[in-house]
Chain A
């Protein structure tokens, strides 16, 4: 029971943070979906499955946070590159600020409990 709860909670938490990480990685450059998946999958504890980022990218695209460009590839078919839109670019600092506030808040609560 506890294990199920923990797994579910971890999954939900991870997915929210993964969205932030996807936008952060795309902050300075456009990226091929596969490279993005590989980049994030090497971060411990962040990605359970490399494919997790594709629905996120699809939703971001629909929400207008990212856009795609097809770029010819010498290795095969044209590749789809993801990049931030102006909307995504404007939203990212706000998301990071919100995350920093949550992180600091959790830290503050933990330290207060530790000192008690």
Chain B
């Protein structure tokens, strides 16, 4: 957690402001003729204006003076209005009443703003609709993601620190899309490795079959068929056949049973170091791209560290490439 908030408050002052705003929300909960989200935004603007010339970070004591001038939240109700919490008692407030009040607040925010709250409710609404109407979920996820990003950006632009409630509204699509992107980044090289291993096995099976004289299978009546013999059968019937891959695997200084594992491990090191090398250098060169893609979850992403990761991975790749060259040379591939 950083010591300063977007308003330039200390952590203690920020917590105090959040508490004050929570009191405002509680006081205005269920009051139909005001828009509590808009009022909250007005208060934040007011505080921001009051603290414009203050020394940063702003201490809690300085903030207290501003809040005292603003007045206690309980006084903010329109004439004759009693807050819901006072009407039914905080403990006695039923879940239905709470939901009704929240629904009213959402409707108000969607129709009247302010924009950061409007976007928060819209985003959550589209996301929830996608969950209910599941075939539409991918489309809803994309729409709610962009609405969330816009909501977070507007709040940041206004210097508003998102409270827990708004995070719950804005973050689900952002977290989900970021998770998918992260999984994509992490699993892409694994996919490459699996694909390469699969391709090498297929090529090796074909080469072995070819070297064995392209044998076909024999039916249960002993008649030859036109079907190609399986790799397992070729290996069993023609153990003397040696492929290029066999020669390559034999170069690994491990017991024969572990050669394939060692080869896959060796290939993984190469692919992963190449992947992270390129990724690290790109992320290091354009950190704003990473911050932009994963905002606000990776808003503090450090480009220099990514650069170091990329450099280290490329050094490892160079060592790997040298070893791979010597290996290929040893088995006569080059």
Contact = CB atoms under 8 A, between A and B. Distances in A.
Interface in B102-135: 112, 114
B195 to A, nearest CB: 49
A95 interface: no
A48 interface: yes
Interface string B26-45: 00100001110011001101
A75 B43 contact: no
Interface string A45-77: 000111110111111011100000000000111
Given A11-B75, A51-B70, A51-B76, A58 B34 contact: yes
Contact of B48 (A57, A58, A62, A76): A76
Nearest to A57: B42
Nearest to B80: A12
Contacts of A37: 46
A77 B7 CA distance: 12
Main SS at interface, chain B: helix
Interface of A: 11-12, 15-16, 19, 33-34, 37, 41, 48-52, 54-59, 61-63, 75-77, 79-80
23 contacts: A33-B42, A33-B45, A34-B49, A48-B71, A49-B69, A49-B71, A49-B76, A50-B69, A50-B71, A51-B43, A51-B70, A52-B71, A52-B76, A54-B46, A55-B34, A58-B38, A61-B112, A62-B35, A62-B112, A63-B33, A77-B157, A77-B159, A80-B45
